[in-house]
Amino acid sequence: MQNIDWGSLPFGYYPTNYNVRCYYRNGEWGELEYCSETTINIHMAATCLHYGQEAFEGLKAHRGVDGKVRIFRLDENAKRLQSSCDGICMPRFPMEKFEEAMIKCVQLNKDFIPTYESGASLYLRPLIIGTGARVGVKPADEYLFIVFATPVGPYFKGGFQANPYVITRKYDRSAPLGTGIYKVGGNYAASLRAHVEACHGGQYACEFYLDAKEKKYIDEAGAANFFAVKDNTYITPQSTSILPSITNKSLMQIAETLGMKVERRPVAEEELSTFEEAGACGTAAVISPISRIDDPETGKSYQFGDGTPGPWSRKLYKKLRGIQTGLEKDEFGWNTIVEI
């Protein structure tokens, strides 16, 4: 194991030993290859550079309380990557090959898996890019799949604590029936300016977008889904432009086992004032409880609780993290055990 201060890791890139690659040529995916090189050599006319043919995922491997290493919901990430590939006309990466690549990447970088006590994890970033040269706007004929690993700490500074968020009306993350439901780079490029303007003064953890059509309903944050709690009910927005978060999907199932009702529906901004708790959720953030949401253009501010994580947020977080780290029984069969 590496001599790393696991408890002080930021959510950023830390170099590891190997990545796993696979090429799509002549109409089919090849065999997995293992590589220590951290750069790629692609044609200057590659479709990923000009027409945004790029999709990616994010998942984590956790060292459990029992010493076992678990990858969380690997199959769901594989399915979502396939959905993204469908959305931007790239060939699907096979499910079984995806699983093999994730497991191999963890095994090759086993010395970089943080200790259980640190609360950190090994983050896996699989991506597919169009490498075939095109000048006209059409899909490539060649693609590259890569997955690399890097140890990470909490996405938001301070970890599991309540943070303030802000609504941005000036920008849209994604249009209805656009690419918002796919995990593609263009969606994140569209959020960068809004994030910099809204959050880089340090006052807010992240920005929330309203629906692009009516500017009335909460969609999602730049890097996470939204959820709220009211009257023993877990509520999360439904929209044609929201990325289906695997963490959010997991929390909905956990909420039901804890005796909560679950509602997935449009959430109007004015309803924020009725919520007892609110949070942002995603693979990187897990759960980031929200202390308040400000709307600078209307002057409104929505407060949630006393500025600390609410009781339901604590229960949901504890249960999810417990499943990921072996403290709780994996009753849903979400984990893939990796032999190290």
Residues known to be catalytic: 183
Q: Three-class SS of residue 58?
A: coil
3-state secondary structure 237-301: CCCCCCCCCHHHHHHHHHHHHCCCEEEECCCEHHHHHHCCEEEEEECCCEEEEEEEEEECCCCEE
- Does an H or E element contain 79, and which? helix 74-87
What number of CA atoms fall less than 13 Å from residue 339's CA on the CB side?
1
Six token digits for residue 23: 């090429």
Number of other CB atoms surrounding residue 135 within 10 Å: 8
Q: What gap in Å lies between CA 334 and CA 76, rounded to an integer?
A: 9
What number of CA atoms fall less than 13 Å from residue 151's CA on the CB side?
24
Q: 139: buried, middle or exposed (CB in 10 Å: 19+, 13-18, 0-12)?
A: middle
Beta partners for residue 206, in sequence order? 165
| First-last CA distance in the chain | 12
